[in-house]
Structure 1
């Protein structure tokens, strides 16, 4: 789950990371009032969950409350990479001497978090990693021991940070690690962390990604979710506790179990098809949940056929069949459906499906072949 810059920085601030004075505005008048309170010279920053805001005209420097109001009026409602700007962050302007990149993410190969730091802050870190990887200093963090003092000192020395800033940098690095760890984040990033003309360190931009699987532990962060960046189907899926990811194919897949869902997608590809989604209805799915999953799949106009692959252990096959039939009665789809039911109450489920004149299959390979053939005919 992505959260906005202002939300990320407020989380950082709770852990001692210094951020600029500022507030969020939803109207030009709000921007003017905030700028006046901050002394007049401010940065107006669009709050959308995409990169390239500055290049798109979504970041402006205002030298007075009147300018802040004018720029906010221009930015609010702007379309940036398909997203509408509904809020702007008004931050006190900062005089910058130099910029640093500071971030923490997961290193899957090493199975632990890694802190990455570069003196090349303020630019896309991906470009730095591609062109000059030696400029990125990495320190892996043991998940039980946490970020150690010697690691922070090594990093500071490696980026040639003036020694007078080491103590302050240590507070910021430790605070970022705490924010990352205690928020169950997969990314916590300050870009840039700046050295100001007053010789202080300041996090003028921030970004966080939170592990969706851990959101239940953080109701305060869950409330920060911006549904504007999500496909409507993904929002509905979350409300029904379904795991759904939209893809670009034409065969809609409804499966119970993440592993079986991945296998189903692989088999579809093996026989020349292309999955339209990943959708795991989970164990114990009742008719209502299955019906919701079915409606989500059919809301995708690219779907030419639906492949339902259910292994009934906890999930009963007759409940799945009931949900499918209820959804068909409501949605009235005009695409063929291939159904494979195996396991608990499979015979009852197959009987219900057969009476509804849908395509049935005994094996996953057979189901995938029939789904691919039906999509080509469609």
Structure 2
């Protein structure tokens, strides 16, 4: 679960990571009034969305007066910001963060991530921070070094200092910052703590000019202080409704609605559809906790999408989610839908025969196939 920039900074600052003074603005009038707190002649006005690329999209501005701060806050609040990472739908700016501008002489990159191979905390560093880092990383260029950062001991500090020195950050202040971030990373069960850029100012200070923190979604119940940000993760009302019904769904711009149980199976279906020159309208993963009525709600969301011309159902019954449970949900959805697009169905595993019988008994516009390849080919043909 991603946290917005201002909350990410607050979290890291709690452990000793230096951040610029700033405040959260929810109206232009409040922003102008609160500027007096910052004791600066230049201000940075930042839209608070979860996606990156804000600066290039006009979501970050440097201004010189409180009145200009108010004008920028007015421009951003309530408006949709479209960046490279939001997709064409963009994100609505619901809050704006205002900071004192820094006198920066150089930008670096520093991040902590969970190392899946060892379960340790991985430290990433680069001497090319800021937009330049994002651009180079987008081209799959190797732009940083990595190492595992352990407990704060004299031996570990010596190792980390040598590592950071290779990337232009060998000062004790940065070593302190790295271990401070590590403590916050572990205590808050994060999967990512990114400082980009880590700015070096003309005075020689090292400050987190921007930051991003991601909390393990499975650990949210242990951190109620972050629950207020859960709603921000759903950038689309349809996706939020699906989540409320125990269905993981991401809306796409294709014509084939995909109904699948299991993230791996869903990704495989997407690969096959795209390789066959088809266009999926969504990603869907029916959770094991979803009942037939919740599954029906997810399918109804697809049937209500005017872009969806065909639905491809590919499920494997087993464990908690059975083939007939999914079929019941699909039948209920079609029974209440105004649009009844063609349905291509492949059900295998436990209660598969019963599931297919349900689809036929309810006289759905269904074509039953035996293999995934056949399902993909037929769905593409019907969607065309």
Q: What TM-score do you get using the length of structure 2 for normalisation? A: 0.82
SS in 1 for 2:45: strand
Asked if structure 2 preserves the Cα contact closer than 8 Å seen for 1:83 and 1:229, the reply is no
- Quote the Cα distance in structure 2 between the aligned partners of 1:224 and 1:337: 37
Greater shift after overlay, 152-161 or 231-240?
152-161
Matching residue of 2:200: 195
Could you say what secondary structure the match of 2:321 adopts? Answer: coil
Indicate yes or no: 2:224 matched with 1:223: no
Q: Which moved more, 1:285-294 or 1:318-327?
A: 318-327
Classify 1:2/1:285 alpha carbon distance in 2 versus 1 (closer, same or farther; 3 Å).
closer
- The 2-side partners of 1:304 and 1:315 are apart by 26
The aligned counterpart of 2:27 is 27
Say if 1:274 and 1:37 are closer, same or farther in 2 by CA, change over 3 A: closer
Which residue of structure 2 aligns with residue 176 of structure 1?
Answer: 181
**Residues 361/229 of structure 1: CA separation in 2 closer, same or farther (3 Å cut):** closer
Spell out, residue by residue over 1:48-83, the C-alpha distance to the aligned partner (whole angstroms, 9 max, x if none). 233343344433334443343233333434543133
Name the residue aligned to 2:85. Answer: none
In structure 1, distance between residues paired with 2:202 and 2:289: 60
Q: Distance in 1 between matches of 2:274 and 2:79?
A: 40
Q: Is the 8 A contact 2:104 2:202 kept in 1?
A: yes
1:8 aligned onto 2:8: yes
Deviations 1:351-375 (A, max 9, x none): 3311222324252344444333322
Any idea what the Cα deviations from partners look like across 1:205-260, whole Å, max 9, x if unmatched?
Answer: 11223444544443333422453862222211221221223344322221223333
Distance 1:237 1:22 in 2: 36
Matches within 5 A, 1:346-365: 346-358=352-364, 359-361=366-368, 363-365=370-372
Q: What pairs up with 1:113-152 in 2 under 5 angstroms?
A: 113-128=121-136, 136-141=144-149, 148-152=156-160
State the SS of the aligned residue for 1:374: helix
Task: Indicate the larger mover: 226-235 or 125-134.
Answer: 125-134
Equivalent position to 1:340, from 316, 337, 346: 346
Q: C-alpha separation between the residues in 2 aligned to 1:122 and 1:3?
A: 19
Give me the TM-score of the superposition, normalised by structure 1: 0.83
Q: Is the 8 A contact 1:7 1:224 kept in 2?
A: no
1:295-314 residue pairs with structure 2 within 5 A?
A: 295-313=300-318, 314=320
2:67 alignment partner in structure 1: 66
1:317 aligned to 2:318? no
Consecutive unaligned residues of structure 1, counting only runs of 5 or more, are: none
Shift of 1:131: 8.9
Kindly state the Cα deviation for residue 28 of structure 1 after the two structures are TM-superposed.
0.9
Check the 8 A contact 2:247/2:290 in 1, yes or no: no
1:373 aligns with 2:381: yes
Maintained 8 Å contact 1:139/1:151 = no
Deviations for 1:333-354, whole angstroms, at most 9, x for unmatched residues? 2311122334444444333311
Counterpart among 105, 111, 118 of residue 103 in structure 1: 111
CA distance in 2, matches of 1:240, 1:275: 21
Distance in 1 separating the partners of 2:142 and 2:377: 49
8 Å contact kept, 1:24–1:90: yes
Write the distance in 1 (CA, Å) between the matches of 2:47 and 2:114.
28
In 2, Cα distance between equivalents of 1:311 and 1:341: 6
Q: How does 1:35-50 map to 2 (within 5 A)?
A: 35-39=35-39, 41=41, 42-50=43-51
Q: CA deviation at 1:173?
A: 0.5
Task: Confirm or deny: 8 A CA contact 1:20 1:203 kept in the other structure.
Answer: yes
The residue that corresponds to 1:249 in the other structure is 254
Residues in 2 aligned to 1:75 and 1:221: alpha-carbon distance in whole angstroms: 24
CA distance in 1, matches of 2:194, 2:8: 9
Q: Equivalent residue of 2:229, what SS?
A: coil
> d(CA) in 1 for partners of 2:187 and 2:355?
45
1:85-134 deviation per Cα after TM superposition (whole angstroms, max 9, x unaligned):
33211213333343322122356688765322233333331345589968
SS at match of 2:131: coil
Secondary structure, counterpart of 2:381 in structure 1: helix
Please state whether the residue corresponding to 2:174 is helix, strand or coil: helix
Gaps of at least 5 residues in structure 2 are: 83-89
Cα distance between partner residues in 2 of 1:205 and 1:83: 19
